[in-house]
Amino acid sequence: MKVKTLLFLLLFTGVYAQNQADADKLVEEGIVLHDKGDYEGAIKIYDNALSLDKDNLFALIEKSLTLNSIKKFDEVITISKHAIATHPNSGLQNIYVNYGNALDHLNKTEEALKIYEEGIRKFPDYYQLYFNKGICYANLNNSSEAISCFQRSLAINPKHPGSLNAIGILESNSNRIPAVLAFSRFLIVEPQTNRSKKNFENLKGLLMKGVTQTGEKAITINIDSSTLPDSTGVKKENDFSSTDLILSITASLDFDKKNIKKTEVENFIRKIEVICASLDEGKKENQGFYWNFLAPYFIEMKNKKLIEPFAYIAYVDAETDDVVKWHKKNQNKLDDFYEWSKNYKWGFK
């Protein structure tokens, strides 16, 4: 009797394993269809996979993602609840992301926040949960909480362009230098996309913010009072007032006769070099996420003499003669830059 039971268990286990393997293979086919934009076709494939293995987590995750893409948010919620109930302790990171995203799209933002928080308690090192939580707070016009979430996401994954993009946008009005750093880093991790073109223009605008030529020999510099040093002398977190002031003065020199004939990239390099030098000088007496996490990357970039290749990476879509010529002649400098950036040791310094 025991032998028969053992044989049955072995047979059942073998059939289940085969069904799971076949289901996983179907899911891979569904992903190909999803990536081609054939969402309905992908869902049919995922359903076939679930007919073989009804609780297959791989299929549930991918189906919920595809349903999100076609705005079937109620179905996403149903699938997500099923996945959490059948797989309570593992592999649910993206289920929580898809679940919260569906709720947010249904304008159930407070419920979405609770789902992201539940996911973060289970998976505290998954950056996408923090990022999507930040999107929720941004939708609630709570910039402070949103920025904190994007910072946490970036600390976990320094290569995440979405977090860099969000920080750049949210910090642009109130704290220019962190926005400059975020957009600059974005152009390194996501070059030559529609977003990179937009963020390149954002970056150039920030570098010249408040500086206008009002006459042939007259330059006007408008300083935002919020960027000035605290009159009490008390240092705030993420205070870049000194660097901000230096940047404004440096930007005004673009109109000086010794710089006006330089290329746009050359003047860009000059401004970035001044920013990085100011960061290096102020690093010991300042604190905060941007000082401790982002600033050291740019300080090391300066010290390694890598600002020039960074500038030409930023300008790659400009396609002016000087940029095209530089790229053709300096592949080795680009390789050195990317090798350094890839191996850079991120952390709080």
- Kindly report the CATH number assigned to the domain that includes residue 104: 1.25.40.10
Mark whether 23 and 169 lie in a shared domain. Answer: yes
Range(s) of the domain holding residue 46: 19-174
Q: Are 277 and 239 in contact (CB under 8 A)?
A: no
Q: What is d(CA 233, CA 239) in angstroms, rounded to the nearest whole number?
A: 11
Mark whether 166 and 303 lie in a shared domain. Answer: no
Mark whether 161 and 84 lie in a shared domain. Answer: yes
Mark whether 233 and 161 lie in a shared domain. Answer: no
Mark whether 167 and 222 lie in a shared domain. Answer: no
Residue 2 lies in a domain: no
* Total count of domains within the chain: 2
For the record, the structure tokens of 312 come out as: 């030409």
Contacts for 58 with CB less than 8 Å, ≥ 6 apart: 23, 24, 27, 49
Query: What is residue 1's predicted lDDT score, i.e. its pLDDT?
Result: 47
Mark whether 161 and 212 lie in a shared domain. Answer: no
Q: Classify the C-alpha dihedral 254-259-263-266 as positive or negative.
A: negative
Query: What is residue 229's predicted lDDT score, i.e. its pLDDT?
Result: 63
Q: Are 273 and 249 in contact (CB under 8 A)?
A: no
Mark whether 159 and 224 lie in a shared domain. Answer: no
Task: Give 1: exposed, middle or buried? Use CB within 10 Å, 0-12, 13-18, 19+.
Answer: exposed
Residue 198 lies in a domain: no
Query: What is residue 121's predicted lDDT score, i.e. its pLDDT?
Result: 96
Partners of 221 in the β-ladder: 211
Mark whether 109 and 246 lie in a shared domain. Answer: no
212 φ, ψ (degrees, to nearest 5): -140, 150
Mark whether 120 and 247 lie in a shared domain. Answer: no
Mark whether 74 and 130 lie in a shared domain. Answer: yes
Mark whether 35 and 157 lie in a shared domain. Answer: yes
Q: Classify the C-alpha dihedral 267-270-276-279 as positive or negative.
A: negative
The low-confidence residues of the chain, meaning pLDDT below 50, are 1, 3, 6-16
